Amino acid sequence: MELRLSGKTALVVASSQGLGKAIARQLVLEGANVMITSRNEEKLQEVEKELRDLHKGQVAHLQADITKAEDIRRLVQKTVDIYGTIDLLVNNAGGPPAGTFETISDEDWYHAFELNLLSYIRMIREALPYLKKKGGKIVNIASSSIKEPIPGLLLSNTFRTGIVGLTKTLAFEFAPYNILINTVAPGRIATERVAFLDKINAEKLGISKEEMEARMKSMIPLGRYGTPEEFANVVTFLLSEANTYITGQSLIVDGGMVKAI
C-alpha cells in the first residue's frame, strides 16, 4: 500500500511529546513536511532535531498556546510561509484535569472548553482556506471516553464527545471540497498522560502505581497498553492518500478495551 505522503504539508498540534510527537515522527518518516508545535520551546527544539536526524521529511517548529486565537492564526500563517500550504491537519491537545462535578469550577469548565474543543474549531477555521484548494485531511484526536465515559474525567468526557459532533457535521460540509475529516480516540496508550492518570488512581485506591497499571491491563483484551507508534500508524493511514473514502468516522485505538458497540 502506497501512502503517498511525501511532500505533503502537515500541521500537528501538541506535538512535542506523547501521541502528537509519535504522529509527527511517522509523517516525517513518510516524507511529509511537518510543523510541530506546543507551549514548550525547549522540548520543541529537541524534537525538531530528533526528527531532522531521521533524514526523511522536513521539520519546523513554532511555540504556540492553542487556547489563544492569535497564536493559532500565527501558527497557521507560519506553516504556510515555510511550506506554501497545508494539506493535513492533526488537532490534538493535552487532557483537562480530573475531577468530579462538585469539585470543578466555572474556570475549569471554560479552560477545558478552550483547550479541548474551541482550539480544534479555531484551528480548522484558519487552515480551511488552504485545505479547500486541493482537498485535504483532518484528524481530530479525542479519547475512548467518546464511547465509554471514564470515571473522574468529567471535563474530558464532556468536551471529547463534542469533538465527535463537530467531526460528523463537518464531514458533510467539507465533502464538496474533498476534505476528509475523522476522529481517532486512544484508549490506554503508554504516554505520560496515562502514567499520570494511573498514579492518581493508585493514590485514590491506596495501591502502588504498578498494581494500578496491572489492573488496567487486565481489562484490555490484548493484555497491554498500546504504544504511541501503534496509534500514530492509524492516524497516518487516515491522513494518507490510501484513505479516499473514510470521513466523519470515529475510530477507537484501544486494544479492544471499550465495551460499547
Say what the pLDDT of residue 158 is.
97
Q: What number does CATH give the domain 9-188+228-253?
A: 3.40.50.720
> For 143-186, how does the pLDDT look when each residue is reduced to its tens digit (9 = 90+)?
999 999 998 899 999 999 999 999 999 999 999 999 999 999 99
Average pLDDT of span 71-86: 98
Average pLDDT of span 102-116: 97
Say what the pLDDT of residue 171 is.
98
> For 207-235, how does the pLDDT look when each residue is reduced to its tens digit (9 = 90+)?
999 999 999 999 999 999 999 999 999 99
- How many other C-beta atoms lie within 10 A of the C-beta of residue 166? 19
Q: Please report, rounded to a whole number, the percentage of residues in the chain having pLDDT higher than 70.
A: 100
Say what the pLDDT of residue 43 is.
98
Give the pairing type, strands 9-12 and 136-141.
unpaired
pTM, rounded to two decimals: 0.95
pLDDT interval class at 51 (50, 70, 90): very high
Residue type, 110: Y
pLDDT interval class at 261 (50, 70, 90): confident
Say what the pLDDT of residue 1 is.
87
- Domain map (residue ranges) of the chain: 9-188+228-253, 190-225
> For 53-78, how does the pLDDT look when each residue is reduced to its tens digit (9 = 90+)?
999 999 999 999 999 999 999 999 99
Contact 30, 152 (CB under 8 A): no
Say what the pLDDT of residue 88 is.
98
pLDDT interval class at 193 (50, 70, 90): confident
pLDDT interval class at 197 (50, 70, 90): confident
